Structure 1
Amino acid sequence: MRLFVTGGAGYIGSVVAAKLLQAGHDVTVFDNLSTGHRELVPKAARFIQGDLLDRAAVQAAVGAGFDAVLHFAAKSLVGESAQKPSLYFGENVGGAVNLVDAMREAQVPSIVFSSTAAVYGEPEVVPIPEDAPPRPVNAYGASKLAIDQLLSFSGAAHGLKAVSLRYFNVGGAFGYQGERHTIETHVIPRILTAAQQDESFDVYGTDYPTPDGTAVRDYVHVADLADAHLLALLDMAERGTIGQHRIYNLGNGEGFSVRQVLEVARQVTQKAIPANERPRRAGDPVRLVASSEKVRRELGWNPERSDLASIISDAWSFMTKGRA
């Protein structure tokens, strides 16, 4: 298939692009490089530097003719979204509108969208099922939910086939592709940075109602996550119903506590990584874990590297050696 990958110079998008190429697909990456890195784009992929807010550029790029789109490009810092909600709605939703319009004009039938479990906000049921009511508590999650809704309405209006994949924390690395964020907010790379620099790590909240007192979160290996995108793409090509929008959560189903992550990081790095116990941060939920029963059942997704040791080992190898 001829595939158009937005945000393919970013962490997850670049890994998916590499996996698509390995599977024999023709890949074009579209990225404005505002947070992505040109060197992460696989060498066998075509690259177009462009911005989704540039309507003419998007129309020209998509108009070249593609079988499907995989959409990763987005602003994604939760804290920043709280301070700049208009930026997140303007860029994330505005860019998606331009992309969907260009797809309609070029008659591109399918899209796999990188959504987020942040659309659920504070869940009532954990692990979170796909039918949990979406109640985002920040502009980032709300902007992603708006795009999910755009895809549903676009399916009803002009037959767009869409799959949204919602996930929490992604970790690990795939070859020379790993996390390289200018502003790093994710737990695993922050712990590994502390290990690399022989510093301590701040643990926020040690009195949660969990087995070890620290908050529990979902972690999925980036290579397993990429496999889910390929399965969704192939499923739409083989049996996807025109106008149907399907939503799947991607998670490990169990969750890992901050102390568990820290302990495995100590074992992997052979570093002490002292912990500084800090008070809870306002708004931090006790446990956020996404159920993956539906995607396993319907798409046959079977994550193979989403245990903590594999995730952290690959991330550490990338950080210290430049590749997993």
Structure 2
Amino acid sequence: MKILVTGGAGYVGNLLAKALLGAGHVVTIFDNFMFGYDSVLHIVNHPNLHIIKGDIRNDNLAYLHDKDVIFHLAAISGYPACEANPNSAKLINVDATVRISDYLAKDQLLIYASTTSFYGNSGSVSDEKTIVNPVSLYGLTKHQAEQIILQRENAISLRWATVFGVSPRMRAGLLVNDFVQKAVQEGTLVLYSPYSKRTFMHVADSVKGYLFALDHAHQMRGQIYNMGSEKLNFSKREIADAIKQYFSFEIIEANMLDKDVRHFSVSFANARALGFNCEVSLEDGIHEMIKLYRFYTPHSFIKPI
């Protein structure tokens, strides 16, 4: 198939592009490459890879017309980046998604990178029927975009757990990644709202989930699926303690709330019923990042966009 990945040079996108190429598809990466081209160097010479540098906010969308499947990953991702770039968050996460959805023909499958973040501060187990409660601009814009996507019959919305792990384009602001980096490089980890819970998954399992959705599109189209594992529902304190199994560092529980006040657990029963399961443990992801952060300092991703 001919497949396009928006945000294809990003943290998950570059690994998804590699996996799709490995499965025999013809892949086009569409990205603004604001963080450079290093993340696609490992696949740039593949004969079935095409790369387009552009901006989904205003570029001509003709590059979409002959694609069988569009994986829409391009976004301002996460609480800090959206708060630093609120106008861009709306333009990219919502308005550009409207442009893409409106442009596509009915027979083109759109697989959308949604998030569990807009379950907000429920404090209970959330499934796809739970009334959402976005507590951040990021969650709000992603929910608005999901509602747009689901107006199409030929679309799948995947609500991802918070991703962690090593990728050619690292993201420092993701919670587990951030905790490991600070523990390794600063020797101290400050926890705000240490017992608030979220759900996590390894980046390799995220890629696996996208491929799963592609292979099961006949069952999943027109629907929302939480993607992750109940085994990876953790509090911040539990993650810090898991990191501390590998080396010693100071953990400080701060007497103030995190500005990002999400606190929820998620049910992934619907995806699991179709056969999707996560394989990589939190401990395996921590171990690989400890080795990485002993020599690598990521650039900040909170910058004007």
TM value normalised by structure 1: 0.81
SS at match of 1:27: strand
What does 1:1-324 correspond to in 2, within 5 Å? 1-34=1-34, 36-41=35-40, 42-43=43-44, 44=46, 45-56=49-60, 59-63=61-65, 65-82=66-83, 84-104=85-105, 109-123=108-122, 125-126=124-125, 128-155=126-153, 161-173=154-166, 177-178=167-168, 180-181=170-171, 184-206=172-194, 214-236=195-217, 239-240=218-219, 244-254=221-231, 255-268=233-246, 270=247, 272-281=248-257, 285=261, 287-298=263-274, 300-305=275-280, 307-320=281-294
Distance 1:263 1:135, change over 3 A: closer
Q: How far apart, in 2, do the equivalents of 1:219 and 1:8 lie?
A: 21
Instruction: Please list the CA deviations of residues 58-96 of structure 1 after superposition, one character each: whole Å capped at 9, or x if unmatched.
Output: x22113x11100010001231453465443222211211
Question: How many residues are aligned here?
Answer: 290
SS at match of 1:90: helix
Tell me if structure 1 keeps the 8 A contact 2:123–2:263: no
Structure 1 unaligned residues grouped into runs of 5+ = 156-160, 207-213
Distance 1:18 1:9, change over 3 A: same
Letter in 1 for 2:207: A
Distance 1:190 1:283, change over 3 A: closer
Q: How far apart, in 1, do the equivalents of 2:29 and 2:115 lie?
A: 21
Letter in 2 for 1:164: S
Q: CA deviation at 1:260?
A: 2.2
Tell me if structure 1 keeps the 8 A contact 2:94–2:141: yes
Q: How far apart, in 2, do the equivalents of 1:250 and 1:217 lie?
A: 13
Q: CA deviation at 1:186?
A: 2.4
TM value normalised by structure 2: 0.86
Instruction: Please list the CA deviations of residues 249-297 of structure 1 after superposition, one character each: whole Å capped at 9, or x if unmatched.
Output: 12321412222212222333x3x12112212315655742221110011
Tell me if structure 2 keeps the 8 A contact 1:172–1:313: no
Distance 1:286 1:118, change over 3 A: closer
Instruction: Please list the CA deviations of residues 126-177 of structure 1 after superposition, one character each: whole Å capped at 9, or x if unmatched.
Output: 1x1100012212221111111111122233xxxxx1111112310112xxx2
Question: How much is the aligned-residue C-alpha RMSD, in angstroms?
Answer: 2.3
Sequence identity, in percent? 28
Tell me if structure 1 keeps the 8 A contact 2:229–2:268: yes
